[in-house]
Amino acid sequence: MNNLKGFAFGILTSATFGLIPLFTLPLMAKGMQFDSILFYRFLFAALALASIMAAKKESFHADKRDIPVLILLGFFYTASAMFLFWGYNFMSAGIATTLHFTYPVFVTLIMLLFFREKTSWITLMAIVLAICGVARLSIGEEEIRLSALGVFIVLLSALGYALYITTVNKFLAGGSTSRLKMGGRKLTFYVFVVSTALFAIKAGTNQGIQPIPDSMSFVNLILLAIVPTVISNITLVLAVHNIGGTLTAVLGAVEPITAVCVGILVFSEPFTPNLAVGILLIIIAVTMIILSKSIQGTLRKLYRKAAHFQVSK
């Protein structure tokens, strides 16, 4: 049951993350810069979570020994967003999205090298299929232009997100005595507080925080803060808690599918054969992850039957 809940939370995380363009593109059309958009996104998300916690009479207390970890989580999360948006200056958004989605590889390597978590061949195959699917969704034939610096910057974005997932996995989901003594909602709230502060500093070093242009932009910022920020980050923590960082990372492949659907249904973008192939590859990858235990069990039974048949001959 925990696995089923974890897979559901992981898919919900990715699906809601994929709605970011739905609320961000209208803000950019109004002339808002990324620094200001991200500042308001995390500020409103922190306020929304604070309201929920206050309504539920949850404590905001954080143990002193937890503060360095919370700051670290906020730094990783902020770095991931900043490096990704910086990477857009060096390459197409499609290539940047594909490179960013290498984060499941980083999660797998970190969990293997530092936490000795073994990864099955099914998970590795699913990662490859998912990355190929994201590439099909994101990259057009005319867009293959790479900058070495741009690639490095976007890979730092992927590494930042991978470090965020693995740190959550270590301090919240694991059985370590050093894990955080708080629920996912409180953890997410403090991550948003740190991210808000860091983006305020970053915006201040550039052109400052822009005012919100109009009431519709305010609505888009609120929706950006709630749907692909509050909901997606809470479900991310719950997914990591139930199924671990590696499987949660691979389920992130659902995110670009949602973004593609938004593009087609809302922004009238064309549905091409590349998109169809990409979606199919991602669906296969996600299905492999969800059914990995059943697949491994079936293959073991077939192997035993084959071995028994050879012996009986």
- Count of other CB atoms within 10 angstroms of residue 50: 15
pLDDT at 214: 96
Taking CB atoms within 8 Å and a gap of at least 24, the contacts of 119-128 are 119/246, 120/292, 120/296, 122/288, 122/289, 122/292, 122/295, 122/296, 123/246, 123/247, 123/250, 123/289, 123/292, 125/288, 126/250, 126/285, 126/286, 126/288, 126/289, 126/292, 127/250, 127/285
CA distance 12 to 58: 24
pLDDT at 143: 52
Name which of 234, 299, 302, 277 is nearest 49 in CA terms.
Answer: 234
Name which of 216, 168, 203 is nearest 30 in CA terms.
Answer: 216
Q: What is the extent of the structural domain holding 184? A: 1-309
The model carries a pTM of 0.81
Contact between 201 and 35 under an 8 Å Cβ cutoff? The reply is: no
One-character DSSP codes across 243-272: H-HHHHHHHTTHHHHHHHHHHHHTS-----
CA distance 157 to 196: 18
CA distance 282 to 294: 19
Domain count for the chain: 1
Spatial neighbors of 279 by CB under 8 A, at least 6 apart, are: 133, 137, 257, 260
pLDDT at 176: 44
pLDDT at 266: 81
pLDDT at 52: 93
pLDDT at 219: 97
pLDDT at 181: 67
CA distance 236 to 43: 19
CA distance 180 to 64: 11
Cα atoms found within 13 Å of the Cα of residue 85, Cβ hemisphere only: 18
Name which of 241, 102, 119 is nearest 180 in CA terms.
Answer: 241
Mean pLDDT by 10 residues, the chain (313 residues): 83 87 88 92 96 92 87 93 83 72 86 81 88 79 66 90 89 54 84 94 89 96 94 91 86 82 80 86 86 76 71 59
CA distance 83 to 43: 20
